[in-house]
Structure 1
């Protein structure tokens, strides 16, 4: 559910919604959500001074009952 919610939020922010993918990974530190977007949308998803990325992380923590990290990457990685 969390990955679908993040994907929905991100798709509505970016200019290239078809390039958005969100994958969940478990590691020693908890859950990690990897958000991939088109390279042209990196600035839009991070926002001025990281405000959009921080807001996205705040929403994820509010929706989750455990620690979740969010990494934002472009599709080249």
Structure 2
């Protein structure tokens, strides 16, 4: 899952070397939280106008996780 998230984000940013993805342990409900950190100048590219790109990233990750029987949450920091 982490590789998928990095692949999606690296296609959007100018500085792919600054991408950091951290993963929290599953919560009591079984939700795994992924934290995405990118360079400050790339934050707008990841979030998009009115958050549309961020919403699309979250949708793709939830869909991929559901195929594996997992629950995920993506936070952009």
* Interval containing the TM-score (normalised by the shorter chain): 0.7 to 0.9
Match of 1:4 in 2: 3
In structure 1, the gaps of 5 or more residues are: none
Unaligned runs of 5+ in 2: none
Residue in structure 2 matching 1:70, options 64, 67, 74 = 74
Report matched runs for 1:19-30 at 5 Å. Answer: 19-26=18-25, 27-29=27-29, 30=31
Listed one character per residue, the Cα deviations across residues 5-37 of structure 1 (whole Å, up to 9, x for unaligned) are 000110110011100011111234510001010
The number of residue pairs the alignment matches comes to 72
Tell which structure's C-alpha radius of gyration is larger.
Answer: 2
- CA-atom RMSD, angstroms? 1.1
Q: TM-score, normalised by structure 1?
A: 0.87
Query: Which protein has the bigger strand share?
Result: 1
Normalized against structure 2, the TM-score is what?
0.87
